[in-house]
Amino acid sequence: MRQKSVLLKLFAALFALVLVAAACGDDDDSGDGGDGGSPSGTEAEEGSGDAEGTLAGWRGTTPLPETTPEVEAFQDRMLEQDPDLVDFNYGPESYDAVITIALAAKIAGDDGSAHASEIVNVTTGGEKCTAYADCVAIIDGGNTDIDFDGISGPLEFSGNGEPTIGSYGVLEFGDDNRIDDSKTTFKTIEAPPEVAEIPLSPVEVERTGDGVLTIGTLLPETGSLAFLGPPEVAGVELAVAEINENGGYNDQDVVVSLSDSGDTTTDIASQSVSRLLSENVDAIVGAASSGVTLTVIDQVVTAGVTMFSPANTSKELSDYDDKGLYFRNAPSDILQGGVLAEVILEDGATNVAIINLDDSYGNGLAEDLTASLEEGGGEVLATVPYAPDSQTFESEVNEIVGTDADAVVVIGFEESARIVAELIKQNFGPADVPIYGTDGNMGNATGEEFEAQ
């Protein structure tokens, strides 16, 4: 009996230890995230399980059509095309780029370089149409003077092939580190009259088409703008499918060839362009990055191939010697700088510090933003550029914090998540001072990147 009693006592002691261990484990789990939806201890180590809500209040601008039933229906179509999409950025612009190219080729009767001379005309003046089939019906009816307004809004190109009207969404991160759609507002801005009056650039390179309209893409599958790739590719593929459902071009299906643009730290873009040109593409939709476009634009237009970006915003491309073959339906950063300055000043900030990517996009937008802020009565206390291949931002953020600015603007791509993380570390994050972003970082993918650190 005594032996049995000892065994029972040992069993009870072991059982108590198990209960204590289990209780400690429960305490650790609850400390990582709060409610039952919080990540496990392992998941918390891989990401920033304790970072929930730390991006809340970060605001910024991006080219975005105002939400309408048509835009919502298009977003539903994008999700059907790619159910894994987390953002829609530049998907409508990519779709509209392909539709515009196809309509121009139909009017020109040539998928060669001659179609480029019709792209501006397709977007301005003439009889309005908003769907590919409706535009084709007008053309088939004998009227080639159409004015295509797409999902991304009224294109209204000036003679140099870029929009004279910009529609911008003012976005804000919510408590879940994702864009809070309920807080999105919209602003529209028009380019100065001198931009709208730029004469049509003639096509300087002759290339004859082969009767099959072939569209190549140069969009980011990898690199610092990889989050833009999926919605842009979805937009292209939706447009090609719609064109082909309505008879294609020249009674043949439009062909699409996808390729990766990478970013400016790699040579992926030039390799992709070489492959696309060897496939006799008639137009290339891309790149997303202005800096990438500037590395390959000469290669593309010298071959007599149209280059049409859905996302380039650098003003350096406005007067580039593109031989009449480069177009974009994302408005120039001259417009975005004005819109973002207006948002910042309306929020009451007047002393601003800017940290920006040191390339044509980042430097150009910082310059345009500065001019607009100063014109509105604000002051830029510091502009701190960083290299495209930077991995840490402690020294740059130190300089920003040292200004004691009442607002900070971050102009960059996916690395912006690390910049804001460093701002938070130095007690200068969205909870401490208003933080603003731009089209390169205002998206749910930035929130995911932030939490993955």
Burial of 82 (0-12, 13-18, 19+ CB in 10 A): middle
User: Two tokens at 183?
Assistant: 């807080």
Predicted confidence band of residue 3 (pLDDT cuts 50, 70, 90) = very low
pLDDT at 27 over 50: no
- Cα 99 to Cα 135: distance, rounded to the nearest angstrom: 10
pLDDT at 208 over 60: yes
Amino acid at 273: V
- Cα 294 to Cα 212: distance, rounded to the nearest angstrom: 28
Contacting residues for 450 by C-beta, under 8 A, at least 6 apart: 48, 51, 54, 55, 177, 417, 420, 421
* Confidence (pLDDT) at 52: 67
pLDDT at 5 over 90: no
* Confidence (pLDDT) at 191: 87
* Confidence (pLDDT) at 17: 35
* Confidence (pLDDT) at 16: 38
pLDDT in tens, 389-436: 999 999 999 999 999 999 999 999 999 999 999 999 999 999 999 999
Predicted confidence band of residue 196 (pLDDT cuts 50, 70, 90) = confident
Out of 26-40, 93-107, 307-321, which region has the weakest mean confidence (pLDDT)?
26-40
Contacting residues for 100 by C-beta, under 8 A, at least 6 apart: 119, 122, 123, 148, 150, 155, 308, 327, 329
* Confidence (pLDDT) at 28: 33
Q: What is the mean pLDDT of residues 381-395?
A: 95
> Cα–chain-centroid distance for residue 383?
23
pLDDT in tens, 326-371: 999 999 898 999 999 999 999 999 999 999 999 999 999 999 999 9
pLDDT at 12 over 50: no
Which domains does the chain carry?
63-331 (3.40.50), 334-451 (3.40.50.2300)
pLDDT in tens, 256-283: 999 999 999 999 999 999 999 999 999 9
Q: What is the mean pLDDT of residues 225-253?
A: 97
Q: What is the mean pLDDT of residues 442-446?
A: 93
Task: Find tokens 């980011």 and name the residue.
Answer: 220
Confirm if 445 and 288 have CB atoms less than 8 A apart: no
pLDDT in tens, 110-131: 999 999 999 999 999 999 999 9
pLDDT at 7 over 50: no
Average pLDDT, the chain: 89
pLDDT at 180 over 60: yes
pLDDT in tens, 158-175: 999 999 999 999 999 999
Q: What is the mean pLDDT of residues 439-452?
A: 92
User: Two tokens at 325?
Assistant: 């073959």
More confident residue, 20 or 84: 84
pLDDT at 250 over 60: yes
pLDDT at 33 over 70: no
Predicted confidence band of residue 142 (pLDDT cuts 50, 70, 90) = very high
Of 133, 141, 149, 151, the closest CA to residue 248 belongs to 133
User: Two tokens at 49?
Assistant: 């399980």
Of 278, 308, 252, 265, the closest CA to residue 116 belongs to 308
